[in-house]
Amino acid sequence: MSALHRALAQIVGERGVVSGHAARTTYESDGITLLAAVPSAVVLPETTEEVSAVLSWAHANEVNVVPRGAGTGLSGGATAIEGGIVLSTARMTRVLNIDAETRTARVQTGVVNIHVSREAASYGLMFAPDPSSQTACTIGGNIAENSGGPHTLKYGVTTNHVLALRAVLPDGEIVDLGHDTGATNGYDLVGLFVGSEGTFGVATEATLRLVPRAEATRTLLGVFDRVRDASESVSAIIAAGIVPAALEMIDRLVIEAVEAAFGIGLPEDAAAVLLIELDGVEAGLDEDAEQIEALCMAHGAREVRRAKNESERSLLWKARKRAFGAMGRISSTYYTHDCVIPRSRLPEILDVIEDISARQNVKIANVFHAGDGNLHPLILFDDDNPEETERALAAGDEVLEACLAVGGALSGEHGIGAEKREWMSRVFTEADLDAMKRVRHAFNPTGRLNPNKVLPSPSPCFDWPKKPRGGG
């Protein structure tokens, strides 16, 4: 047994340490498997005090620590690229309290996103941010990435739903940020912490805002023969002043994968479908639904279907939320990109992506939050084929370039992590980056909590993205 294992086991017990090579390898990456590094150990504390003791020990012994929730992240954030230990919140899964009167939940941050809404359902409440990974991802991961989801078009992203946090700083100090009422006195440190990608501290408990479940919903599926018509319909719906709860686009390749996996009944000959949901009080929903149907038809929809009951609605959402998983039916590997563009540029950017796909000779599927202009091009490739992998990565770079060229942003919800840190210099000036470094330094002066993430490194020593796994 190594000295590292013994030191960690003294804090969290034998059950709380993973040190065998095979077991550690399961923590080598997050959802970006091209970027992998096996940590020296994985530690699984159960309480804030244990997290504090682990971080104090790591601080004293100059060991890097990488926080990890469920490892569903898509920017390499939970990967120990500079070595060190992974601190997993997988045992911190309790919903501590639900207060129906104040509409809040106090949770440990390792709780799975959907479990919060399940617990809150009996009070008629829910936690609104609903990443498509919500059956697996944790609240801690959502906080770190400031995650979104299909329904954040109407309800906002994670930062709009976190009132207070308990966090452990890299030297082991426990701090409480914000207030359960949501009041901000002085600087909004909760706002600063949310989206810090595990580089400021480890969030161990959070007070979340819950919202009432909608009284009624209308869920529509617009079917289009041309992708351009679908994207023009998106702009037309928003321009008409309607704010759907969700407005998602799924293109033909994704439909093909979803149908192969689940046989839901999406039209396989369509170029794209729009999944549109309205929610709120019953009065007025039908009028809005009719207006959306008319707008889609005016912009070239072949038909607009309406879910007749809850089971039809669930089936449509299954198609969307399980789309990423279904991609395995048509490709051995895919690389999910995440960037944001001004919504009005959607039609032209989708044309550009099609051109990139043809030029790089890789298939690119699209399933994304169209209402917010948050694209997710899925670049399909075979990671056993180094040359094809290079083309897939080059296509990804070109997509990012194209999004930036139309005034877009590097990430909508998956974060910068290790994946896009070198791109930060393209978007921000040295002065901007220096200001960000100084903010990080206030929380994480040694830089040993989640090192070499988010900000570009003066000497990147991890070979990404040039060295695909399995590709030599």
- Under the rule (CB under 6 A), what is the footprint of ligand FAD? 30-31, 66-74, 77-78, 89, 109, 131-133, 137-138, 140-142, 144-145, 147-149, 197-198, 202-203, 324, 413-414, 450
Least Cβ distance, residue 56 to ligand FAD (angstroms) = 16
Rounded to 5 degrees, φ, ψ at 231 are -70, -30
Look at the alpha carbons of 194, 199, 200, 202 in this order and tell me if their dihedral is positive or negative. positive
Sort residue 470 into left (φ over 0), alpha (ψ -120 to 50) or beta.
left
Maximum Cα–Cα distance for the chain, whole Å?
A: 69
Q: If DSSP codes are grouped into helix, strand and coil, which group holds residue 325?
A: helix
Residue closer to ligand FAD by CB (options 64, 235) is 64
Residue closer to ligand FAD by CB (options 37, 295) is 37
Least Cβ distance, residue 424 to ligand FAD (angstroms) = 15
Euclidean distance between CA atoms 387 and 148, whole angstroms: 34
What is the number of alpha carbons within 13 Å of residue 288 lying toward its C-beta?
23
Q: If DSSP codes are grouped into helix, strand and coil, which group holds residue 197?
A: coil
Least Cβ distance, residue 469 to ligand FAD (angstroms) = 17
Q: Which residues have CB under 8 Å from 212's CB, separation 6+?
A: 103, 124, 125, 126
Euclidean distance between CA atoms 413 and 137, whole angstroms: 13
Least Cβ distance, residue 375 to ligand FAD (angstroms) = 12
Q: Which residue in this structure is represented by tokens 């390749």?
A: 253
Contact of 246 with 371, CB cutoff 8 Å? yes
Euclidean distance between CA atoms 99 and 120, whole angstroms: 9
Which is nearest to 24 in space by CA: 11, 8, 48, 10? 8
Length, in residues, of the chain: 472
Residue closer to ligand FAD by CB (options 324, 360) is 324
What is the number of alpha carbons within 13 Å of residue 327 lying toward its C-beta?
26
Least Cβ distance, residue 285 to ligand FAD (angstroms) = 24
